[in-house]
Amino acid sequence: MDFFDHQARARRRTVLLVGYFLAALAAVAASVNVCAWLIGHWLHPDLSWRAWLLSDAGLWLTAATLAVLIGGSLRKAWQLRDGGPALARLLGAREVPAQPGDARQRRLLRVVEEMSLAAGTVPPRSFVLEREDGINALVAGLTPSSTVLVVTRGALERLSRDELQGVVAHEFSHILNADMRLNLRLLAALAGVLAIGKVGEFLLHATAGDGHRRGLPLFALGGALLMAIGFAGLFFGRLIKAAISRQRERLADASAVQFTRQPAGLAGALIKIRQEGSHLHSLHAEDLSHMAFAETLGLRWRRLLATHPSLDQRLRALGADWPVRARVRTRQARAPSSAASTRVGHLDAANLGYARSLLASIPVDLQRALHTQEGAECVLYALVLGDTPPPPALRGGRRGALVEQVRGLGTRLRLPLLDLAVATLRQAPERRRPVIVAQLQAITRHRGEQDLLCRALSAIARQALTPTKRRLPGREIHRLSAVANEIQVVFSVLAWAGDSARTTALAGFQRATHGLLPPGRLLLPPDRCGPARLQTAVDRLNRLTPLLKAPLIDAAADLVLSDGQVQVAEAELLRALGALLDCPMPPLFRSSLANI
């Protein structure tokens, strides 16, 4: 659809708006007459509805109601006769000077100038709502050349440049799609629909004073009824806004991505709004609800009355992964200590210090053995065997001593020893590596269902020592719902890993999988989530896109940390899960770990 098609559609929407407005006028006028007739019927039971409508009082009331409604719209239209600048003044927005001293305002002007040059239009005047810390923006004007862009202080402070560009591009699409004039007309029209409520509020205040006014209960009752009708007018006004605005917001999002070629910027702004909010404190928040980038106030009947698609719907339109990323960031904001995905692929001083302490706790002779092929193989087999008696080839002599030495170091060093052993064995001759993998598989088959961590260690080693297979195009999984069975298995294993009682394991499972699994998925008993099934589940989960792996890591960390303690077995099993999902996770979760 080109520019001229948008202009034509805007004209058709204006006709639709007139029809909605006339219907709202009729509905509000009828509501006022019904209330008046009920009062009259209470005083004079013989008064019929037809007699009331045709009476002089009924006709005058209808005329007065329509006059108030139309007068309210005309008054608002007069206030906004200058278009965008008039609205900016009404909101108390402060214009950004041509040479601002604030770096954030300079960035805003730069983004606006770039977008204007790309669109071939005059840059709109830019204003800032200094008292609004929510993330929001709007454009207003009668023509593209007389437009104003209004952004909140929260948008300037919290959005990155790419995110701000996405928001500005969204607003520019409203300019190019001829939405601005319609928005101002809609604002003026609905001001009249709300005027009856203002009259009712005036009557209530008038009858609340001292003196002779206190004895006028009918005026008080009438004021209360008019306020109720005013709320009905607000309801109808919201319906009109929703009918006209939602599709235009979807189109603006799509146009913004087309303009910038960077869906990440717009998606990032929507995610931050999801976390930090977009609501306005202004008295005009309701008036602006259909004009702003995001919702300006909260709603109880959100699906019915919302002027914008939900944030999840808008994110989903930008790509299937974005709603998941939004949930990940929300989880991180609410519980940053358990946001394990932020630690994936991350190094800091605490990690390095902990790694040094791990290396220092490995005996020197064992470190030397780990750098030889024979010693690395022996250590690897000892780790996978756990407390199972070793085969004859690993008893006695140097090999037997290494096995006993590894077992004596406890669980804390199992994964670090595995990392060091695998690093050496990856340099082994190609003909030797399949033999090592076959030995690992034989050991795990012999061990059966014992020690999940040892099975996980074996899987990590096999993964590292097996040649990487090229994945065929399209094999990645893009929906968590497609791997619900596998998620159920993995999180059941983690829930039972801390030697939890059933009630504790069930509660932890339900908290961790909320939002990941469809309703009705229950904690599996231990005999239904053994190592073999776990390995199959992890292999399939490894085909998820990177963005979908992040919520799994975060939820797994939440489950491990749910009881306030991080046992070594739990932490290392979680690290093993991260390794199997190709998400390298540092070994440090808290400053200290509780040994078992």
Q: In sequence order, what are the beta bridge partners of 150?
A: 127, 138
Q: C-alpha distances in angstroms, 102 versus 30, 106, 108, 156?
A: 53, 6, 10, 10
Q: 266 CB contacts (<8 Å, ≥6 apart)?
A: 163, 166, 167, 169, 170, 253, 256, 257, 260, 318
- Burial zone of 304 (CB within 10 Å; 0-12 exposed, 13-18 middle, 19+ buried): exposed
Q: C-alpha distances in angstroms, 416 versus 75, 233, 338, 355, 595?
A: 74, 67, 22, 9, 16
List the catalytic residue out of 171, 295, 377, 570. Answer: 171
Residue 270 in contact with residue 314, Cβ under 8 Å? yes
Q: Give SS3 for 39.
A: helix
Helix pair 217-260, 3-43: axis angle to 10 deg: 170
| CB-CB neighbours of 105 under 10 Å | 18
Q: Give SS3 for 152.
A: strand
Look up 171 and say whether it is catalytic.
Answer: yes
| CB-CB neighbours of 575 under 10 Å | 23
Count of alpha carbons within 13 angstroms of residue 262, beta-carbon side = 15
Q: Residue 306: enclosing H or E segment and its boundaries?
A: none
Cα gap 401→417, rounded to integer Å: 16
The residue whose two tokens read 């239209």 is: 77
Cα gap 516→553, rounded to integer Å: 11
Q: How far apart are the first and last CA of the chain?
A: 66
296-300 long-range contacts, CB within 8 A, separation 24+: 296/136, 299/238
Length of the chain: 596
Q: C-alpha distances in angstroms, 548 versus 196, 317, 355, 488?
A: 51, 17, 29, 15
Read off the DSSP letter of residue 514: B
Residue 511 in contact with residue 442, Cβ under 8 Å? no
Cα gap 69→67, rounded to integer Å: 5
Q: C-alpha distances in angstroms, 24 versus 27, 78, 181, 229, 562?
A: 5, 21, 20, 12, 53
Token code pair at residue 188: 């003026």
Cα gap 449→533, rounded to integer Å: 10
The residue whose two tokens read 């977008």 is: 115
Query: Phi and psi dihedrals of 139, rounded to 5?
Result: -125, 150
Cα gap 457→100, rounded to integer Å: 59
Query: Phi and psi dihedrals of 520, rounded to 5?
Result: 100, -10
CA 253 to centroid of chain Cα atoms: 16
Active site residues: 171
